[in-house]
Amino acid sequence: MKGGVAVERLRYLRLTGRQRAGVWLSLLALALLAAALSLLWHLKPVMTSMAMARVSNMVNRIVSAAVNEAVESGEIDYGNFVIFDKDDTGHITALRSNVAEVNRMQGRIADEILLRLSEVSTSELEIPLGTLTGSALLAGRGPSLYVRMQAVGSANAVFRNQFTAAGINQTRHQIFLDVDVYMSILLPGMKTSTKVSNEIAVAETVIVGGVPDTYTYFSTAPDETAQYAEDYIMNNG
């Protein structure tokens, strides 16, 4: 009786050809998933490093191009930003910033940078397989993996002043544009964030005589919207 029960159980445990194929396919799928997760784990630091370098280079090129074009076209010009007050003898008594023009150009530059970033936000990273080994000899060698990358972000542009001695009784007044771009980089299975900063001298003049007693500095208070975007990107990247 017991032997008959055992045979009956074996008969129920015996798999058909289709069932065996399903089991093998399931095992193969699990093996492939494990291999993919392992590859992604090895790829993560490489992809992150390469993506941040790619984004930083891209942002630097875009910022430089946007600012240089504004300078060359005359949109950014010292005379547009600074107003001199003089006494009867022609001595400069005060410098005043053209606040409206300063704020307009800050927004204009930030918008232009964001527009150009949106046009190149999606790209591919080429990762040679030799780079994944961690060996300096194999880095950059072998066939390549192509990984899709998407970058989104915000930009903030602020003008800043600097006064320095330029000789006897002379003062150099420089206007700098500080541009901060906060980027969130989306990669397969992960995301990271980075901040790219540029400091660009956009205008200057030499003031002959003493430094004016009065100067209205450019407003450098960060825009609330830009600050919110920065906090969101850097904290959720």
For the stretch 19-44, pLDDT in tens is: 667 767 777 777 777 666 666 666 67
Q: What is the pLDDT of residue 67?
A: 92
What is the three-class DSSP state of 22? Answer: helix
In this predicted structure, what is the pLDDT of residue 10? Answer: 47
Question: What's the rounded Cα separation, in Å, for the pair 51 and 137?
Answer: 22
Q: If you average pLDDT over every residue of the chain, what do you get? A: 75
Alpha-carbon distance of 89 to 216, in angstroms, equals 22
pLDDT at 223: 47
- What is the value of pTM for the model shown? 0.68
Work out the number of other CB atoms within 10 angstroms of the CB of residue 131. Answer: 20
Q: What parts of the chain have a pLDDT lower than 50?
A: 1, 5, 7, 10, 219-230, 232-237
CA 25 to CA 17: how far, in whole Å?
12
pLDDT at residue 99, as a whole number: 85
